[in-house]
Each structure stands twice: as structure tokens, then as C-alpha cells.
A = this chain, B = another copy of it.
Amino acid sequence: MENNLTLKRRGFLVGSASALAAAGFGAPVPIAAAQEAKPLPDYVAWKNAGSLIVHSDKTLETKRGEIGAGIITPADRLYIRNNVNVPDDSIVADRDGWMVEFAGVKEPRSISVGELKTLGVETVAAVLQCSGNGRAYFEHKPSGTPWTVGAAGCVLWSGVPLKAVIEAMGGAVEGTRFVTGTGGEVIPEGLDPKDLIVERSVPAEALESIILAWEMNGAPVPLAHGGPLRMIVPGYTGVNNIKYVKKVALTENETDAKIQATRYRIYPVGGKASTSDPSVWKMEVKSWITSPLEVAKAGKVQVTGVAFGGFHAVSSVEVSADGGETWKKADFVGPDLGRYAWRPFVISLDLPAGRHTLVSRATDSEGKSQPREFEPNQSGYSHNGWLAHGVTVDVA
């Protein structure tokens, strides 16, 4: 019975995959956008233009083929997504002088980055991924940046564990249920700060792994990525990783800032957001292929990609060259940088001439695999369906 169902579902998958491929789905959608080649905005003029798709001044995506096998995404290839304008670079003139206010602790006070550096240091490798990464693959065309796969990277963050800071301030107050971080963005005058402020709350359990980072990939965190100090919440989507963090509070309730209250929520297509809808917090297991992308030579082809578990570690990844009909286990490449990092993968396939739909499907340490399709949500968040993330390759 189960076998029959499986077979039926498989039959459906293959047909569907072919149909989608014929319709252009599964192919790297915004290559056209890349070819428009908008120039890099000034504040990220130091980035590697050839590796990036410039969607707007505030949204830059790493091209799928520019993600290598080296695990860590170099700063100059890492995506950019800002909700508000980047602050003036005067805030990184004296990095150690940047002040952060702490609240919800027994001895609340403001503390400089210089003093934070005396409280300890830890390094964590973590995938940084925009909540909307994969939005381009939703068929209902949500508004917002049409990210494909490149609003994500794997980054080494170094800084002080938040736990150590809280301990130095006498511990948390009673009733703490959330960690609420506030970004140092400047809100234009005349506008309601609640509408624009980047202030997010994450469940207090994240306290175990949060780092206040002054270093990214072995160098001071660039302003564009949240320097002088960024609150890193490993396993949580990008928006929860507060840039230029100026306040960290242990709170009983979630912030009522718009970005928390009604934005970054998962609710049905056509619906309206409410605070009872799930917030975009923990990331789910995901993977995608990085090569080949369009054409390959018949014979032995190295199919490469990246896979991560999100909040849990990734444990395996499979690749299919026939749109999901048959699967083979791929090998991970290079050292394991820990549960929050991604792992490059490779599999050597013999591909005959013809058109092939290559897809990858990762499984996390809890046994959860990427779904074939991902149920749509109004704002197009958190897509990890394997079919849509595949690529169609012509082998000659």
C-alpha cells in the first residue's frame, strides 16, 4: 500500500518536474536580472561585482555559481539585505567605543565593545540566510526581493557569548521569555520609529548560542554587515541577527515593533498578518546545487552544492539527475564546521547527452528532510522545497 502510494507520488513528481522544467521553473530564474548588471552601491563598492546580483541598493544576492566548495563565504561575495539605510561609517571609526545598552538583567548598564572584549571570545560558523531566500520559487509571486538561492552564506562569527555578558551583569531577571535586540539604524525624522526600527525578539532558549560579534571571517565586521557589533543568533534567519546592535534586552514579551509584530510572519496567501502567526525564526533543512548550472559535457560530471540543517545539523544530502525519481547520496566536502554551518557536497554522475533536471534533498540530524514542495505563504518566506530549487542542465 505504502509502496503503491510512493510509486504514484513518484509518477506525479516526475511528470510535474518535467512540466515545471519545460515551463522554466527550476532553472536559475533571475539570470536575466544579473545580466542587467546594476552597479554596486557605494557602501559596498568593495564587494566583488562579478559574484553578485544587484537587486536594489539594499538587496544584493550571491550568484548561484559563485558559491564555492570552500565552506566559508568571503565577505566580498556575501549577500546584502538591509531594511533601513546603512548608518554613516563614522560608527566604525572607533569600534571599541560603540556602546550597547543591556536591560532585563539584574545589574543593567551600557557597555562598550572594548569592555565586551574583556568578557570572553567564541567563534561560531553559521549560515546567514535571509528569511525570503527562495522567494522567486513561489508561484504566487510574493512582493519583495525575488531571491533565488543567493541570499545566504556561511560565515565565521567571533565575539562574546551573550551568556557571559548576562552573567557579568548579575544574571537575567525573572520572567525572561525573549531576547530582544535593537539595531542602530537611524530612523528618518517624521516617521514613526515603530514602523521602521529593526528590533526583533527571539525565544530565550537562543541565549545558549547567541554571540555579540565584532569579527566576521577573521576581520572586523564590515559596516554593511552590521559592524561594529552584530547580534548573531545561530540557526535563525538573517533578520534576527541584529546589525549595529545598540540594545539587548531580556524581555517577557516580544517587541511591538512592526518588523516583529506584523512583518516576518508566516500566514496564508491572501491573508493578513497577526501576532499569532508564526514568526520567521529557526531555519529549516535546505540544499541547492551550485554546478553545473546550464550546460555540461556528457560523461563524468561533478555535481556540487551546499546543504545545511538550519537550526539542527545537516546529516546527509542526496542528488537526483531525473527530477527526483531516483536519488544517490552525495559526499560532503571538507571539514565539518559545526551544526549551524553549511556543508559543500559533491557527487560524480555519469550524464548522457540530453536535458537533465538536477535536484538535491538534504536531511537534518532530527531525520527531517526537505519537502518536495513548500506550502506557499503570503510574503514568500522560508522556501526549502527541493523541486523548485533544482536546475535544468543541457548535456551535450
Residues on A facing B (Cβ under 8 Å): 48, 51, 67-77, 117-125, 156-158, 215-219, 297, 299-302, 304, 333-338, 341, 344, 346, 348
Contacts and interface: CB of A to CB of B under 8 A. Distances in A.
Nearest to A346: B121
A2 B68 CA distance: 54
A236 B72 CA distance: 23
A112 B118 CA distance: 51
Contacts of A124: 334-335
A109 B300 CA distance: 19
A117 B123 CA distance: 32
A334 B70 contact: no
A217 B348 contact: no
A288 B48 CA distance: 33
A345 to B, nearest CB: 10
A142 to B, nearest CB: 30
Contacts of A299: 118
A158 B123 contact: no
Nearest to A76: B219
A362 to B, nearest CB: 18
Contacts of A157: 70
The 4 nearest A-B residue pairs measured at CB: A123-B334, A70-B218, A69-B158, A70-B156
A219 B68 contact: yes
Contact of A334 (B51, B125, B346): B125
Contact of A156 (B71, B120, B348): B71
- Determine how many copies of this chain the complex contains: 2
Contact of A217 (B51, B67, B70, B333): B70
A68 B300 contact: no
A72 B346 contact: no
27 contacts: A68-B158, A68-B215, A69-B121, A69-B158, A69-B218, A70-B123, A70-B157, A70-B158, A70-B215, A70-B217, A71-B123, A71-B156, A72-B72, A72-B218, A74-B217, A74-B218, A74-B219, A77-B219, A118-B300, A118-B301, A118-B302, A120-B302, A123-B333, A123-B334, A123-B344, A125-B334, A156-B334
Contact of A121 (B158, B219, B333): B333
Contacts of A125: 334-335
Given A68-B158, A334-B158, A337-B335, A121 B302 contact: yes
Contacts of A218: 67-74, 77
Contacts of A123: 69-71, 333-335, 344
A333 to B, nearest CB: 5
Most chain B beta carbons < 10 A, residue from A48, A72, A73, A338: A72
A300 B301 CA distance: 55
A122 B90 CA distance: 42
B302 A117 contact: yes
Nearest to A117: B302
A219 B335 CA distance: 17
A283 B324 CA distance: 47
